[in-house]
Structure 1
Amino acid sequence: MLFNSIQFLIFFPVVTTLYFALPQRFRWVLLLVASCYFYMAFIPVYILILLFTILIDYFAGILIEQSVGKRRKQLLAVSIVANVGVLAVFKYYNFFIGDINAVLGLTGASQLSYWNLILPIGLSFHTFQAMSYTIEVYRGNYPAERHLGYYALYVLYYPQLVAGPIERPQNVIHQFKTKHEFDYQRVVDGLKLMAYGFFKKIVIADNLAAYVDSYYAGIHTGAGLEINSLVAVALFPIQIYCDFSGYSDIALGASRVMGIELMKNFNFPLFSHSVTEYWRRWHLSLSTWFRDYLYFSLGGNKKHRYRNVMIVFLTSGLWHGANWTYVIWGAIHGCFQILEDLLNLRQNKGFIPFLGTTIVISLAFIFFRSTDLSMAFQVFANMVSPHFDWHNPLLSKKIMLVTALFLAGEYWLSQRDYLPALNGLRKPLRYGLYYALILAVIFLGRFGTGNQFIYFQF
């Protein structure tokens, strides 16, 4: 189920109303059933994949806690292999088969067959969340959950099920067990966060997507040349930020309404002054996941630091998709983090570091957005002699003005805490902003079933 759908606009108030109406002991049942329904709105049979890994990890957690010595590590390995195995089959099998077939083609050997599989939506997200649980139990940071329903809800919780944030068990499971009374201010704050997320997605991201997507769709045919390539490249980082952080705002807001706090996933990354700072602000639940479970396991800063950085970012690239374009995107970010450390550029502030970081991020995103390497290289070629068409109907002056105002507002918010700052405004200005936000969504928003969130594909 998409957040930006009529179905969700019915689903959310119904589930939330029932949540507060039910006694505490039944609320986990409601949320679990609602979450299953939410996920099954995509491809119903794929719920079985989640149930398979849930059962394995549930029992693995209990057995890990009860075991000693090597057996604990063996049980953890079983859990990780099961999770990564499912991810590898659905997301990476055809990718690696393609490379293997390329080698076999050189030798004249028979080709391996591809599997006609549809990637389960959000598979990478709930796989990593499930792995967090067994790793935390193994490390002794969290006791194994004996209640199967609460553990299943930890994996299936609908606000963050398909695109994060990737949570840790110690942050959310105890919240499912706590009774949350209806709190007017908390509910209002949650709805404000949701409204801002809808604005980011429907008004900013989807309008910019119409321009950017048209450019990339016409790369190989030449149709995209009527669109300014420099503008398309510059707008994509804003589009993907508004798309992904918009989802996160809706998820955090919907959960906050019920009293369950999820971790913050973005901290205004568009205003970073280095690539290192960008990753301290962008997709925090994923970057901290790789830091805690991969980087530190490899030795962290203690030994082979730069090797560890590259492994993390190459893995992060591959996590995003089964394509060499993502691997190159990850490699660029890893290389610049190492370069910034060697040249002591991490702490630099000012316009020049900001501009340089923005350019690097935008150019790296060309690989992220391109469907293959030839498309990426064609985009770079187009940028040498960009075609300037400022009157393209896909990007009106009205949308550009709204985007500029949005970025100015984001910068203002980046200097302070979002909700307290908003609530602290004078009442006329505060309500003026609310009405402006609502009117922008109604009159400038792009509605339709095709406007799926970008990170759903991961």
Structure 2
Amino acid sequence: MLFNSIDFAVFLPIVFLLYWLVFSKSLKKQNLFLILASYVFYGWWDWRFLLLILISTLVDFYVGKKLGQETAPKKRKLLLWVSVLTNLGMLGFFKYFNFFIENFTSAFTFFGASFQPNTLNIILPVGISFYTFQTLSYTIDVYRKKLTPTNDGVAFSAFVCFFPQLVAGPIERASNLLPQFYKNRTFNYNNAVDGMRQILWGLIKKMVIADNCAVYANLFFNNSGDYSGSTLLLGALFFTFQIYGDFSGYSDIAIGTSRLFGFDLHKNFAFPYFSRDFAEFWRRWHISLSTWFRDYVYIPLGGSHGGKWMKIRNTFIIFLVSGFWHGANWTFIIWGLLNAVYFLPLLLTNKNRINLDIVAQGSNLPTIKDFLKIALTFTLTVFAWIFFRAESGVVALQIVSEIFSESLFIIPSFEGKRLAVVTAILIVLFMIAEWFGREKAYASADWGLHLKRPLRWVIYAIQLFIIFQFMETDKSPFIYFQF
């Protein structure tokens, strides 16, 4: 079920009203109802994959309980491996099986051998990368004795399948989200209104910015051989804003929807395109995944401690794993390598934590130095997104080659120029709004708060008008559903 669909527009109010009017007197009934609603939400796409969520839930709940009872180190480690192999086994089969078979075949062919294995027609379950990582963090934290295992199977099930963030995050830690299922929840009008404002801003990001950018990003990337370097650069810029509007828009809708039900999720994006270096960018982009890899991969490998070569090794491992997490394609691995190359100089010179504050905090404009840093970081980000979006590494290199050719100086030529100009104007206005809202939880967080209620409703009505005026008629799924 898509957040930007009629189905969800009907589903959400029904769940909201039943949750607060029918089930509010019993915490267990509220949690059970959330499980039911979440299974309906996920099963709307394909009910068969509900079994995967159920397996992950049962295995990790059982492993967590046993880890709380077991003291022998070897048995505890065995229990942990049961969870790791179950979750990563499902993820690996559905997401990477054909990738490894195809590359194994290519390796045999390269050496002159004839090898023709059968691949499987495997459908990737939506959100499997997200909920498997979420449940894995629970068992790892219990194993490390940083978290007390739960005995409440209903609360744990609700934590695993909580529908607002089930299919594309944020990837919540059990230490933050699970305790919220233990506590009685009462309706808070101000939180609900703030949640609705964030949902509205998320829909603008998705339906006005991302979906309109997608028209041109898809056109140029899918037919890259037909266009000049200048047009392809324009396509890379459109994709840069498409993926940000699409994914951060989903996170805003998820966080806002959670607030309607009395839950607080962690922030997943913090205005990353205003970053002054790549260390700052990765503290602001897909924060829940970045911190997951930091805590469960990077730090166990030794982190930034040790010698220079250990730092280099760990940096490349973390970005390669991050790239591979995004999908079974060499383009994602190249994208991860590029980001490792961008990040490494900062780490080796101990400058990876110099930009911890908000850029130009308390000021309307950045300094010239900060502006140039933002421009450089953004430019390199756009370059990396080319490899992320391209169908293959060969196509990505062809696009880059064309961009760095004389055709870069040709005026872009393609169908639909006028609408592309409108989309570009919308992007500029959107980024201005993001800039002036960068110190808030989300850009529109304080719009109209100082005004009387009728005037606030006018502001909301204008945002709704913008959505209906500029939205694409063809509903496109969120990009990160495929990851």
TM range (shorter): over 0.9
Distance 1:342-1:142 versus aligned 2 partners, 3 A rule: closer
Q: Give secondary structure in 2 for the equivalent of 1:43.
A: helix
Bigger drift between 182-191 and 109-118 goes to: 109-118
RMSD: 1.9
1:396 to 389, 408, 420: 420
* Residue in 2 that maps onto 1:236: 239
Partners of 1:226 and 1:367 lie apart in 2 by 15
CA deviation after TM superposition for structure 1 residue 320, in Å: 0.3
2:460 to 421, 426, 434: 434
Bigger drift between 424-433 and 148-157 goes to: 424-433
Given that residues 331 and 390 in structure 2 are in contact (C-alpha distance below 8 angstroms), is that contact kept between their aligned partners in structure 1?
Answer: yes
* Residue in 1 that maps onto 2:434: 410
Partners of 1:357 and 1:264 lie apart in 2 by 22
CA deviation after TM superposition for structure 1 residue 431, in Å: 4.7
2:397 to 377, 380, 391: 377
Q: Which amino acid aligns with 2:173?
A: R
Query: Is 1:421 equivalent to 2:427 in the alignment?
Result: no
Distance 1:324-1:380 versus aligned 2 partners, 3 A rule: same
CA deviation after TM superposition for structure 1 residue 393, in Å: 1.4
Query: Is 1:173 equivalent to 2:178 in the alignment?
Result: yes
* Residue in 1 that maps onto 2:480: 455
CA deviation after TM superposition for structure 1 residue 160, in Å: 0.4
Partners of 1:447 and 1:66 lie apart in 2 by 55
Give deviations 1:182-235, integer Å, cap 9, x for gaps.
22111111100000000100001000100111101112xx34459811111122
Query: Is 1:134 equivalent to 2:139 in the alignment?
Result: yes
CA deviation after TM superposition for structure 1 residue 324, in Å: 0.8
Query: Is 1:34 equivalent to 2:37 in the alignment?
Result: yes
Give deviations 1:79-135, integer Å, cap 9, x for gaps.
101111111111111111111111222242432221110111111111100101101
Q: Give secondary structure in 2 for the equivalent of 1:213.
A: helix
1:154 to 144, 159, 164: 159
Query: Is 1:6 equivalent to 2:6 in the alignment?
Result: yes
TM-score, normalised with respect to structure 2: 0.90
Partners of 1:322 and 1:331 lie apart in 2 by 15
Given that residues 164 and 248 in structure 1 are in contact (C-alpha distance below 8 angstroms), is that contact kept between their aligned partners in structure 2?
Answer: yes
Partners of 1:203 and 1:324 lie apart in 2 by 31
Residue pairs, 1:269-308, within 5 angstroms: 269-303=272-306, 304-308=310-314
Give identity over the alignment, percent: 40
* Residue in 2 that maps onto 1:335: 341
Partners of 2:400 and 2:287 lie apart in 1 by 29
CA deviation after TM superposition for structure 1 residue 137, in Å: 0.8
Distance 1:26-1:19 versus aligned 2 partners, 3 A rule: same
CA deviation after TM superposition for structure 1 residue 435, in Å: 2.7
Distance 1:250-1:58 versus aligned 2 partners, 3 A rule: same
Give deviations 1:26-73, integer Å, cap 9, x for gaps.
111111011001111111111111111211111111111111121111
Given that residues 200 and 246 in structure 1 are in contact (C-alpha distance below 8 angstroms), is that contact kept between their aligned partners in structure 2?
Answer: yes
Q: Give secondary structure in 2 for the equivalent of 1:414.
A: coil
Q: Give secondary structure in 1 for the equivalent of 2:159.
A: helix
Query: Is 1:310 equivalent to 2:333 in the alignment?
Result: no
Distance 1:425-1:398 versus aligned 2 partners, 3 A rule: farther
Q: Which amino acid aligns with 2:411?
A: F
Partners of 2:456 and 2:339 lie apart in 1 by 39
Given that residues 202 and 447 in structure 1 are in contact (C-alpha distance below 8 angstroms), is that contact kept between their aligned partners in structure 2?
Answer: no
Bigger drift between 48-57 and 85-94 goes to: 48-57
Given that residues 317 and 327 in structure 1 are in contact (C-alpha distance below 8 angstroms), is that contact kept between their aligned partners in structure 2?
Answer: yes
* Residue in 2 that maps onto 1:263: 266
Query: Is 1:98 equivalent to 2:79 in the alignment?
Result: no
Bigger drift between 146-155 and 6-15 goes to: 146-155
2:93 to 89, 97, 101: 89
TM-score, normalised with respect to structure 1: 0.95
**Which structure 1 segments of 5+ residues have no match?**
none
